[in-house]
Chain A
């Protein structure tokens, strides 16, 4: 059994193989998984909102832009090389809908867009994504193999 490191809401953690990173119950939040496949180190960030600039400060690990910077800094600090880093993301669902009322602001979609934009800015390729839908996700990221296991309650389980 590998050690499982739990990543909370608005939180980020790094790991070395054979450790597994876990974040439970992602709704419109996004889990960003980044890994250096050569060194087999990586990290996971559980972001809640697109950008820190529009809000009144608070925890930087909550926002896509500031959280990614923090996560990258820590992964690079473990000896990872920026040009080797690859990303996978999951989450960004729309959990509720009110009859007859289109959601004013699809926060899940906006989160996904913001995360992809930030990854582009940092030049980190996004290998695969599992975003959207209307269901929650629990994700397990194996920094050794790069496998991202996604569990749902009623929409099966998959590895991307």
Chain B
């Protein structure tokens, strides 16, 4: 399907609301002020994501949930390992670095944070479309971003050619940045846009 500039503008607005929810949730969780910047939004074919992400082998913490409901798909939030490290240490209130590659406590905390962030965006999508989207239990990979994303993209189910990509900068002290991606199953994006009157 083709996506118009008008639809993209609307999606950017939804991205704004989503990152607003995400910033609030993170502020509460970390007990410090987190602000958000206006996100950029792209709807692109999956094979082009390298153009947005840049280096596909940069290590990032990637949280992945399957989305069920009337407009199913896959939702992903990823952030650089440095940001993930900061979040985990803040959560445990420690200055000692934790090994996010193998420490189970750190990984389970990351999954939870990722889940909250992903849900923030899903809630925004639901608010605008009226379509309920239920996230599954989160899965985590701390690895090359390209590797994590191709595995998500290719795992079961027919996907739409287009991937909805929302760039967010969550800034506070310290700086945390991340990106949200929604990979709609075939037909889901049309359904969402249709329900929003777009």
Hey, which bits of chain A sit against chain B, CB under 8 A? 8-11, 24-29, 48-49, 58-59, 62, 93-99, 103-105, 107-108, 134-138, 151-154
Question: Helix, strand, loop or mixed for chain A's interface?
Answer: loop
Closest to A26 in B: B147
Instruction: Give every chain B residue within 8 A of A27 (Cβ-Cβ).
Output: 143-144, 146-151, 154
Instruction: Give every chain A residue within 8 A of B137 (Cβ-Cβ).
Output: 98-99
Verify A108–B151 contact, CB threshold 8 A: yes
Known: A59-B47, A107-B155. A25 touches B139 (CB 8 A): no
Closest 5 CB pairs of A and B: A25-B146, A136-B147, A25-B56, A27-B147, A136-B144
Answer whether residue B50 sits at the interface, using C-beta atoms and an 8 A cutoff.
Answer: yes
Answer whether residue B80 sits at the interface, using C-beta atoms and an 8 A cutoff.
Answer: no
Bound Cα distance from A8 to B156, whole angstroms: 22
Instruction: Give residues 169-189 of B contacting A (CB, 8 Å).
Output: none
Closest to B49 in A: A9
Verify B64–A96 contact, CB threshold 8 A: yes
Verify A154–B101 contact, CB threshold 8 A: yes
Instruction: Give every chain A residue within 8 A of B56 (Cβ-Cβ).
Output: 9, 24-25, 138
Answer whether residue B55 sits at the interface, using C-beta atoms and an 8 A cutoff.
Answer: yes
Bound Cα distance from A135 to B150, whole angstroms: 12
Hey, which bits of chain B sit against chain A, CB under 8 A? 46-47, 49-50, 55-57, 59, 64, 101, 136-137, 139-156, 161
Question: Helix, strand, loop or mixed for chain B's interface?
Answer: mixed
Instruction: Give every chain B residue within 8 A of A93 (Cβ-Cβ).
Output: 147, 151
Per a CB cutoff under 8 Å, which of B46, B47, B136, B141 touches A95?
A: B141
Residue pairs across A and B with Cβ atoms less than 8 A apart, 20 shown, are A9-B49, A24-B146, A25-B149, A27-B144, A27-B148, A27-B149, A28-B150, A29-B154, A94-B151, A95-B148, A97-B139, A98-B136, A107-B151, A134-B141, A136-B146, A136-B147, A137-B144, A137-B147, A153-B57, A153-B144
Per a CB cutoff under 8 Å, which of A59, A96, A152 touches B151?
A: A96
Verify B139–A9 contact, CB threshold 8 A: no
Closest to B99 in A: A154
Closest to B138 in A: A98
Instruction: Give every chain B residue within 8 A of A135 (Cβ-Cβ).
Output: 143, 147
Closest to A137 in B: B147
Instruction: Give every chain B residue within 8 A of A108 (Cβ-Cβ).
Output: 151
Bound Cα distance from A99 to B65, whole angstroms: 12
Bound Cα distance from A29 to B153, whole angstroms: 10
Verify A25–B144 contact, CB threshold 8 A: yes
Give the Cβ gap from A22 to chain B, nearest Cβ, in Å.
Answer: 10
Give the Cβ gap from A5 to chain B, nearest Cβ, in Å.
Answer: 15
Instruction: Give every chain A residue within 8 A of B151 (Cβ-Cβ).
Output: 27-28, 93-96, 107-108
Give the Cβ gap from B10 to chain A, nearest Cβ, in Å.
Answer: 27
Q: Which of A99, A103, A153 has the most CB of B within 10 A?
A: A153
